Structure 1
Amino acid sequence: MLIKRLKEARLRTGLSQYKLGVLAGLDEATSSARMNQYEKGKHQADLEMAMRIARVLDLPLAYFYAEEDELAALIIEFHQHKSNR
């Protein structure tokens, strides 16, 4: 599910693949290509990279691995509610 949710979250924030990659700690020369490979499913981000991406996008890691769209939406809702306290 990381593939689908990653692209959705990135587009929602308005970040380019390049910018997200750089903010997540990837080298500037390869950040766009690496993020594209993650979004296309050619390569899978390891747990550490997934955590850094989640931090940049201000989303809980669980969002990226939710199997159902409804669950992913609830995870975001809970995260926003928790953040607004």
Structure 2
Amino acid sequence: MIGLDESSSSARISRYETGIHEPPFATAQNLGQVLNVPAAYFYCEDDKLAELLIQYTRLDAKRRKQVLNLAAELHAEMD
């Protein structure tokens, strides 16, 4: 579904999972498209940030702006 050659896909995915190789960004984009998550999701080291990315991308433009404004307000309160 993401355009990998089936004859080598198992070995390639195994190398990605073990950290021997990193997939090209285009592969992460294709995988994200199939799984309905943003490509950035695969690069998150924090589970909560990964969840935030998923929820954010599912919002419409108006609500995304609200989230960004809220984050800015919360950050300003920290100063």
Question: TM-score scaled by structure 2?
Answer: 0.65
Q: How many percent of aligned residue pairs carry the same amino acid?
A: 43
Between Structure 1 and Structure 2, the one with more helix by share is: 2
What count of residue pairs does the alignment treat as equivalent? 60
Give distance in 2, aligned partners of 1:54 and 1:62: 9
Aligned-pair CA distance for 1:31 = 0.9
Q: Which one has more relative contact order, counting CA pairs under 8 Å at least 6 apart?
A: 1
Give distance in 2, aligned partners of 1:30 and 1:77: 33
| Residue 78 (structure 1) aligns with | 56
5+ residue gaps, structure 2, are 61-79
Pairing 1:56–2:31 present: no
1:43 aligned counterpart, secondary structure? coil
2:58 aligned counterpart, secondary structure? helix
Aligned-pair CA distance for 1:71 = 0.6
**Bigger radius of gyration, 1 or 2?**
2
Give distance in 1, aligned partners of 2:39 and 2:6: 24
Moved over 6 A (4+): none
Pairing 1:27–2:40 present: no
5+ residue gaps, structure 1, are 1-22
